[in-house]
Amino acid sequence: MPSKGEHSEVLQTLARQSDDFAFLGDGGEMGARIAAYDWRATPLGPIESWSQSLRAITAFLLHSPVPLVMLWGDEGTMIYNDAYSRFAVDNHPRILGMPVREAWPEVADFNDNVMNVGLAGGTLAYKDHLLRLNRTGVFEDVWLDLDYSPVYDDAGRPAGVLAVVVEITDAVRSAAALRESEARLRFLDRLSGAIAASTDSDHILSIVTRMTGEELGVSICAYADMDEDQDGFTIRGDWVAERSHSIVGRYSLAAFGELAVQNLRAGRPLIVNDNRAELPAEAAAAFQGIGIGATICMPLVKQGRLTALMAVHHRAAHSWTETELATLREVTERSWAHIERVATAAELRMTAERLQHLNETLEERIEERSKALERSQTQFRLLVQGVTDYAIYMLDETGLVTSWNAGAERIKGYRPDEIIGRHFSTFYPDKDREAGEPGRALETARREGRFAAEGWRVRKDGTRFHASVVIDAIHDDAGELIGFAKITRDVTEREEAQRELELAREALFQSQKMEAIGQLTGGIAHDFNNLLTAIRGGLELLEKRVPDDPQTRRLLENAVKATDRGAALTQRMLAFARRQELETESVDIAALVSGMMELLQRSLGPSFAIDTRFPADLPPVAADVNQLEMALLNLAVNARDAMAGGGRLTIRAAAHELARGDLVDLPAGRYVRLTVADSGAGMDSETLARAADPFFTTKGVGKGTGLGLSMVHGFARQIGGMLQLESRLGAGTEAHIWLPLSTAAHRGGQVPADVDERDAGRAEVILVVDDDALILMNSAALLEDLGHVVIEANSGEEALDALFSRPDIGLMITDQAMPLMTGSELIARARRHRPELPIILATGYGETPIDIGPAVLRLGKPFGQSELRRAIDAVRK
């Protein structure tokens, strides 16, 4: 954030470039309104006399797409942009130029505090903040994200407050609705479990009324049966809260008013929030007479007749919510469906008992054969009717529905009286129906006797589901077609499981691909480091030997810088390949990000805002601080490039406990997920799939190496975590780094950066081992230039021979990756012969082999003469 002085200087520069009104620029509707407004009656004075800082800040907010309002001066005179005018609704344009206390009197105390803090140079921020505002003549709850910062006058003093006002009311309400829906589903699940084993309808309904009444917090929950005359009804049971009384008894529906009669007989619920205010006096008195002030009554209509009721009541007036209505509707449907299944099962048991009796009395069975056949047909009908997992129904020869079971009603949503007599093509999507799919299905069944397929079908409420469909032709004894039997099963869940399996397979393939690319990248980086070592050593020796010519010196310096850039590139490649040396320690993420904020803001620029969100109890993670900072900086720069015109960058973290299989690439355990989210253009699925591939970039030529995300991926994998990317076009990108929790700190051994650089001192006899002739020759030349005696060996065996024959060798420098015998194997054998011998391991890989022991110093390639000298000095100590 710029200092007060810098802020004032920027404002003065902007203002000097403007005439009296030119600073408003193309400020949209609000720019025109501000220009036309008579400011002479306000503390700001005529616009021609406005200060440079006031003009510059006004120009800034007018051109911002974010809702911004500036509160200038002690009174907080309001100047705002087009986005804020839409937030103000009917208060706009009345509040332009008004003191904020008068513009929003309902939150005057809140705004007084904002002004006091801001004019004192302080800032305020509120997230998910609730204010009750009057924007349309009616007070309403409004949820907001608010940020307040001071703005300064030409002298650098706080002169006002700039407010960022983002309304999130819809999101908050959607989240609340989702929580209510989840709670309702959990309750319905408990209710289903409670009544599952019961076979008595009264017992079922007593459980239902008790649990529903307690869940909704009502005074009474009751159920009733209707008489044949459709008016009289008997409340057979109820659950009653404290201070309420039972209403079991006989009643007349007409006594409760015409609204109750019309709605319930039509199958619509009766919903009354306040019977005194909403019903005629006589109907209200009928409710009040049994202690009811508000009610919801759900009807059960069978074959066009009102047969039963279930209701909840409050003693006093009560505004019923959509959640309460949906809960009672679902409870009613589920409980009555369970009662019908119980009744069907009871009837089946009775039928079975009768059939057994008939078998025992053969004579009677023959005599009543026709009756038994009829009962058998009834049993089959009831059996089919009781099936709820399959839609089983009959079609006539033209495709009209002639029967309908409970499963069909559950899966497709139609009651029998709504669908019987309609064509089965009703269940097909419009596109399939227009293409003639229903007709081809019937023709196949008519011709071949059977049709089977899977496809999309449509429920009554318009939702789609994936169905497995079988249509069988039905013929009479003479072989004439009399219709079709149709069975439909909802296989949506099976299809979703198959899709999840395919996603898991794709994730495994992607992981294996990245591992293979990583191995290849690590090998390339190693070879490249060897080449850079030879180049850099030769350049340093040339610098000492060439004439003191300025142009030649510049060329050599440029060549050395090029080798340094090449070394940085190989470090990124090693990071992606998970082969760099890490210094793992316990890291407080919130503190690390806080310490980087100045660097991040400077890297992003003034057009970008950075939000951080870390819980207070966030546990520390195990990571390499430098690599984690580099990873965050890479992700931040990528986010900046994705938001061409500026935007908001959010860095947040949260602890997670993963079970086995939650994420394909991570074992079970505790992790912290560190997220960098931007508000940019996002990526399509094809770009997202390749985003972490090495050398893949969507930036222009020369603007990126394509190794940023690859480095983050390799670093995360090396410390036991992973990089996870989520993005959609137009919705921004979220990059998640999963980091394991800290258990113990570990540091590897490398050449200290602060070893004193001194002359070589006494000359050493140094054994140099490398299978690469260029590296061997270059290293020997560097050492000889330092005054040492060098013995060269191009293999491990040759090095051992030299050690055995030359006891004057005082130090060994060896490469790691050599054929037949690696550097770590050579070190182990040399230690058996010369345990006290100082040894330096020079390697182009990033990691140190775990089997070399603590007394060996690692020297990373590429290295120059100064690094080589420091390594020799360090290993002598």
The pLDDT of residue 18:
43
Distance CA(812)–CA(791), nearest Å, equals 9
**CB–CB of 78/39 below 8 Å?**
no
Whether the per-residue pLDDT at 548 is higher than 90: the answer is: no
| pLDDT above 70: residue 452 | yes
pLDDT, tens only, 777-821:
888 888 888 899 999 999 999 999 999 999 999 899 999 888 889
How confident is the model at residue 645, as a pLDDT?
Answer: 76
Question: For residue 857, what pLDDT is reported?
Answer: 85
Residue 388 pLDDT greater than 80, yes or no = no
* Spatial contact of 253 and 262, defined as CB atoms under 8 Å apart: no
834-840: long-range contacts (C-beta < 8 A, 24 or more apart)?
A: 834/803, 834/809, 837/803, 837/809, 837/810, 837/811, 837/812, 838/810, 838/811, 838/812, 838/875, 838/876, 839/811, 839/812, 839/813, 839/814, 839/875, 840/811, 840/812, 840/813, 840/814, 840/871, 840/872, 840/875
pLDDT tens for residues 677-696? 988 877 777 666 666 565 55
Q: What is the mean pLDDT of residues 537-559?
A: 64
Q: Report how many helices (DSSP H) and strands (DSSP E) the chain contains, helices first.
A: 28, 27
pLDDT confidence band for 444 (50 / 70 / 90): very high
pLDDT(149) > 60: yes
3-state secondary structure at position 825? helix
pTM greater than the 0.75 cutoff:
no
**Based on the number of CB atoms within 10 Å of its own CB, is 227 exposed (0-12), middle (13-18) or buried (19 or more)?**
middle
For the segment 616-620, the average pLDDT, to the nearest whole number, is 91
What pLDDT, on the 0 to 100 scale, is given for residue 549? 66
Model pLDDT, residue 161: 96
| Sheet of 139-152, strand order | 77-80, 68-72, 158-167, 139-152, 124-134
- Inform me whether the pLDDT recorded for 108 exceeds 80: yes
The answer to whether 252 and 231 have CB atoms below 8 angstroms apart is: yes
Name which of 126-135, 160-169, 376-385, 773-782 the model is least confident about.
376-385
Res. 747: pLDDT tops 60 = no
pLDDT tens, residue by residue, 821-853: 988 899 989 899 888 899 999 887 655 565 565
Residue 606's pLDDT band (cuts 50, 70, 90):
confident
Measured from the Cβ of residue 384, the count of other Cβ atoms closer than 10 Å reads 19
pLDDT score, position 292: 94
Q: Measuring CA to CA, which residue among 801, 800, 798, 802 is closest to residue 789? A: 802
Least confident of 7-11, 66-70, 184-188, 256-260: 7-11
Q: Using the predicted structure, report yes or no on whether residue 122 has a pLDDT greater than 50.
A: yes
The pLDDT of residue 703 is 47
More confident residue, 486 or 349: 486
Tell me, what's the pLDDT at 608?
85
857 to each of 541, 628, 750, how far by Cα in Å?
24, 25, 6
Average pLDDT of the chain is: 81
Q: Are 53 and 152 in contact (CB under 8 A)?
A: yes
Average pLDDT over residues 665-678: 88
- Over residues 243-286, the pLDDT tens digits come to 889 999 999 999 999 999 999 999 999 999 999 999 999 999 99
> What are the residues facing 658 on neighbouring strands?
669
pLDDT number for residue 521: 57
Residue 140 confidence (pLDDT)? 94
Q: According to the 3-state scheme, what is the secondary structure of 772-798? A: CHHHHHHHHHHHHHCCCEEEEECCHHH
Under the banding of pLDDT at 50, 70 and 90, the label for residue 759 is: very low
How sure is the predictor about 673, in pLDDT bands with cuts at 50, 70 and 90?
Answer: very high
The whole-number pLDDT of residue 117 equals 96
State residue 627's pLDDT score: 80
Q: Classify residue 864 by its DSSP letter.
A: -
CA dist., res. 321 & res. 206, Å (int):
24
Report how far residue 603's alpha carbon sits from residue 608's, in angstroms, rounded to the nearest whole number: 10
For the chain, how far is it from start to end, CA to CA, in angstroms? 47
Q: How far is CA 170 from CA 143, 173, 174, 175, 176, in A?
A: 8, 5, 6, 9, 10
Query: What is the band of 638 on the pLDDT scale with cuts at 50, 70, 90?
Result: confident
Q: What is the pLDDT of residue 749?
A: 41
Residue 383 has pLDDT above 70, yes or no: no
Do residues 767 and 600 touch, judged by C-beta distance below 8 A?
A: no
pLDDT at 16 over 80: no
Residue 106 binned pLDDT confidence (cut-offs 50, 70, 90)? very high
Instruction: Tell me what pLDDT residue 533 has.
Output: 65
